[in-house]
Structure 1
Amino acid sequence: MRLHMKGEYKTLNDTNLESRVLFFGKESCLPNYSFTGNNVRQNYVIHYIIKGKGTFTSANHSVTQLKAGDIFILPKGVPCFYQADSEEPWSYFWIGLSGLKISTMLSGSILSSQHYLHQVQNSKFYASLQKLYEALHNPNSLTNDILIESLIYQTFYYLDTEYPAKLRKIRVESSVQLKMAIKYLHDNFDDHNCSITSLCHKLDISRSYLYNIFKHELNTSPQKFLIQIRMEEAKNRLKNTSSSVQQISNLVGYIDEFTFSKAFKRYTGFSPKIYRQMNKKSED
């Protein structure tokens, strides 16, 4: 049974996949209170300590003492433990966030690796976070939805500008994400469900962030990279197998021969049948 002195909790319904608030709440904890539920979250939960103090730790990090004015986050997929002090138990409010852009925006701040920040109460980041928390209490309306959306982006803007991540870490993360993206496309190009959208969902990053990685490192877009994999495989099969054009189109991730043939001609300048004939003649 969960015990607390006083607080609130509310879950929201929102269809925005880019960034959204899932829930928010506020709690004044009892001495030594700790959350006993699942501390490996499927979302991101930012906590701001209003008063009191406690301890916090996340996987592969040492225990740290936090107090009023500090922030800590429960990152997606990372085990965490936090406990109220025995003499001055903390009170905090929290906001649970999800969406493709949350991970990307968070990666620009030291909060993504350290998982806590000290004494943010005088920052623009906190002022924006507080406005977001207040806006979540307003009655549902289109204008308030727009306000909440804008405050999410403003909050992360100030988080990334006032508490930026080290540049080297961002480069390392983008390099790893690029390798994962390339592997995913090579492993799944033969599935017609493989798309840039499915790749973004797999890596939990936004389409624009993925595009920037590919453009910077490979000077191409993710979509063009996927098409290249499919077309090069198709060229190989047209030259070296007797499979029909319909069979080859299915083997490289296309549902129908017509769509494949149009894409192949755009890529090579020739229809699949003419390309096969040309390569047979060159071998004779």
Structure 2
Amino acid sequence: MVGKQRNYRDIFVKEQFFSDFYFFNIGHELCESRHHHGPTMREEHVVHYIVSGQGAYEVNGIKYRLEAGNFFIIKPNEMTFYQADAKDPWEYYWFGFSGTMVKELLYSNGIGSSDYVGKVEQTQGVKKLFEEIMTSNMFDDREKLINQARFLTLFSGFKLQEKTIHSSILESRKQKYSESFLLYVKNNYYREELSISEIGHSMGLNSSYLSQVIKGEIGFSPMGYLKEFRLQKASILLETTNLPITEVALAVGYKSSQTFSRAFKNQFGCSPSNFSGQRR
């Protein structure tokens, strides 16, 4: 007897352009009663998003009862089993993903090594994004950027609530704040009006917390680092150009050449005009 045909779509595509984070598989199934998968292991990460119905997901000896709005994560080389409910079988979408930054991006969504299930809080548009990817021509290179954007938007919805975020994730955030601070200084150091309050505002942080983070991450206060950065830039200008002292001072964010000269001497032990590397 021939079994009933399954109501599902399962698409695989080899990624050629992205390496840090990308999807290689996407699918949808309207499950029959008690439809199951496993026990088995996968080689890559897969997220299932439940549109309707109920079912169970089992991993590492723990069984989760899941329903519409929930998602579950299959991780590489871990034995898993999942089964649709007998009376109210689930409908779900899924995507398989890989890349060099998978662990970091899962952590950015609050998902650590012991997290396997969650709930999508903002469900509006999730199904639409899945369908847009699945009905696009995924073998047309012109669609790559659009589908990658859709995938990243989708992935951003699969996260755990703030209260479940691990300390390692919070430490990672501090590193990101520090990196953002350094980048901001690099691109704005020449502005005399640049302030720590402004930099903190750009990241949604108050200046006191930003100062605490920066001091802990790089060993300098924010103002101390800004001053150091400006003076190092000034030393390069003095070594490689014939600009007068007043213009060098302005170029690195000092309105007053006198203030600049005092800071420079305190840093390097000599005045800008006597700096050993200055061109004549």
Report the Cα offset of residue 26 of structure 1: 1.1
Identity between Structure 1 and Structure 2 (%): 20
Query: Does the CA-based 8 Å contact 1:29-1:90 persist in structure 2?
Result: yes
Distance change >3 Å, CA 157–CA 87, structure 1 → 2: closer
- The structure where helix makes up a greater share of residues is 1
Distance change >3 Å, CA 36–CA 45, structure 1 → 2: same
Identify the residue that residue 137 of structure 1 maps to in structure 2: 135
Query: Does the CA-based 8 Å contact 2:57-2:65 persist in structure 1?
Result: yes
Alignment partner of 1:20 out of 12, 17, 22: 22
**1:52-86: per-residue Cα shift (whole Å, max 9, x none)?**
100112215x3121111211111222222211111
Report the Cα offset of residue 154 of structure 1: 3.2
Identify the residue that residue 74 of structure 1 maps to in structure 2: 74
Distance change >3 Å, CA 85–CA 148, structure 1 → 2: same
Identify the residue that residue 251 of structure 1 maps to in structure 2: none
Q: Which amino acid in the other structure matches residue 18 of structure 1?
A: D
Q: Is 2:99 aligned against 1:99?
A: yes
Q: Which amino acid in the other structure matches residue 145 of structure 1?
A: K
Q: Is 2:146 aligned against 1:147?
A: yes
Query: Does the CA-based 8 Å contact 1:9-1:25 persist in structure 2?
Result: yes
Distance change >3 Å, CA 37–CA 63, structure 1 → 2: closer
Q: Equivalents in 1 of 2:75, 2:109: separation in Å?
A: 13
**1:217-262: per-residue Cα shift (whole Å, max 9, x none)?**
899xxxxxxxxxxxxxxxxxxxxxxxxxxxxxxxxxxxxxxxxxxx
Identify the residue that residue 179 of structure 1 maps to in structure 2: none
Q: Which amino acid in the other structure matches residue 154 of structure 2?
A: T
What is the SS of the residue equivalent to 1:150? helix
Q: Equivalents in 1 of 2:38, 2:3: separation in Å?
A: 8
Identify the residue that residue 169 of structure 2 maps to in structure 1: 170
Q: Which amino acid in the other structure matches residue 48 of structure 1?
A: Y
Distance change >3 Å, CA 3–CA 17, structure 1 → 2: farther
Using structure 2 for the length normalisation, give the TM-score. 0.52
Identify the residue that residue 32 of structure 2 maps to in structure 1: 30
Q: Equivalents in 2 of 1:4, 1:170: separation in Å?
A: 44
Give the count of matched residue pairs. 173
Root-mean-square deviation (CA, aligned residues, Å) is: 3.3
Unaligned segments of structure 1, at least 5 residues: 175-215, 220-284
What is the SS of the residue equivalent to 1:123? coil
Unaligned segments of structure 2, at least 5 residues: 174-215, 220-280
Rg bigger for which structure? 2
Distance change >3 Å, CA 66–CA 158, structure 1 → 2: closer
Query: Does the CA-based 8 Å contact 1:59-1:79 persist in structure 2?
Result: yes
Greater CA deviation, 102-111 or 76-85? Answer: 102-111
Q: Equivalents in 1 of 2:23, 2:99: separation in Å?
A: 9
What is the SS of the residue equivalent to 1:97? strand
Identify the residue that residue 114 of structure 1 maps to in structure 2: 115
Q: How does 1:139-218 map to 2 (within 5 A)?
A: 139=137, 140-159=139-158, 166-170=165-169
Query: Does the CA-based 8 Å contact 2:33-2:84 persist in structure 1?
Result: yes
Identify the residue that residue 178 of structure 2 maps to in structure 1: none
What is the SS of the residue equivalent to 1:14? coil
Q: Equivalents in 1 of 2:156, 2:91: separation in Å?
A: 26
Identify the residue that residue 123 of structure 1 maps to in structure 2: 122
Distance change >3 Å, CA 171–CA 46, structure 1 → 2: same
